[in-house]
Amino acid sequence: MEGKERPVPVPTSITRRYWDSVNAEALAIPKCGDCGAVHFYPHALCPNCMSPNLGYVPVSGNGTIYSYTIIRSPQPAFKGMEPYAVVNVELDEGVRIMANVRTDDVEKVRIGVRVKMIYEQSTDDLKIPQFVLA
Ligand SMILES: [Zn+2]
């Protein structure tokens, strides 16, 4: 990527319901109306049984760090944020979601640490999910 403009998510017909839940600060994830499996990220078809019968269910946004990395030498668009933590969090509802952990001390970020979701205003009309240490 060239330049310093920070990339932002662009909702699609498949992801719009998810981004609407983030903007409403009421996170919801896809759930299959046929087999009952929840999944993340949003797909057009259930990744478990290929059904197109998908709905959304609310989730807590609470979870446990499954894996992480500390960024100390960021891409130009993220200069000034370093060091920062990118984490893969296993939500209590059983899906994993990637985001940043907002903390003044990235050394506290470890596998197994509990986190909770916050919603950060990214653009005038789009929020993004982030985590803080619980
Ligand atoms: Zn299914």
| Ligand 1 centroid from CA 15, angstroms | 17
Between the CA of 4 and the centroid of ligand 1 the distance, in Å, is 41
Q: Find the 58 Cα to ligand 1 centroid distance in Å.
A: 17
Q: Is residue 3 part of a domain?
A: no
| 1 within a domain of the structure (yes/no) | no
Residue 99 has pLDDT above 60, yes or no: yes
Q: Any bridge partners for residue 64, and if so which? A: 90, 114
The mean pLDDT value for 14-30 works out to 97
Position 23: which residue type? N
5 belongs to a structural domain: no
pLDDT at residue 2, as a whole number: 47
Which residue is listed with tokens 């017909």? 13
Shared domain check, 134 and 70:
yes
Residue 53 sits in the same domain as residue 71: no
* Gap from CA of 133 to ligand 1 centroid (Å): 33
Q: How far is the CA of 33 from the centre of ligand 1 (A)?
A: 7
Task: Supply the mean pLDDT for the chain.
Answer: 95
**Does any domain span residue 45?**
yes
Nearest to 99 by CA among 71, 58, 57, 59: 71
* Residues 54, 64 within the same domain: no
* pLDDT over threshold 80, residue 1: no
pLDDT for 5 equals: 84
Give 28 Cα–ligand 1 centroid separation in angstroms: 17
pLDDT above 70 covers a percentage of the chain that reads 98
- Domain assignment present for residue 96? The answer is yes
What residue numbers bound the domain in which 25 lies? Answer: 10-58
Q: How many angstroms separate the alpha carbon of residue 27 from the centre of ligand 1?
A: 20
Region 117-132 average pLDDT: 95
Contact 65, 89 (CB under 8 A): yes
Does 129 fall in a domain? Answer: yes
- Could you tell me if residue 4 is inside a domain? no
Distance 126 CA to ligand 1 centre (A): 29
Domain co-membership, 82 together with 129: yes
Instruction: Give the count of domains, the chain.
Output: 2
What CATH number should be reported for the domain holding residue 115? 2.40.50.840
- Mode of pairing for the β-strands spanning 62-71 and 84-91: antiparallel
| 115 and 71 in a common domain | yes
Over residues 38-77, the pLDDT tens digits come to 999 999 999 999 999 999 999 999 999 999 999 999 999 9
What are phi and psi for residue 20, nearest 5 degrees? Answer: -60, -40
Residues 95 and 52 in one domain: no
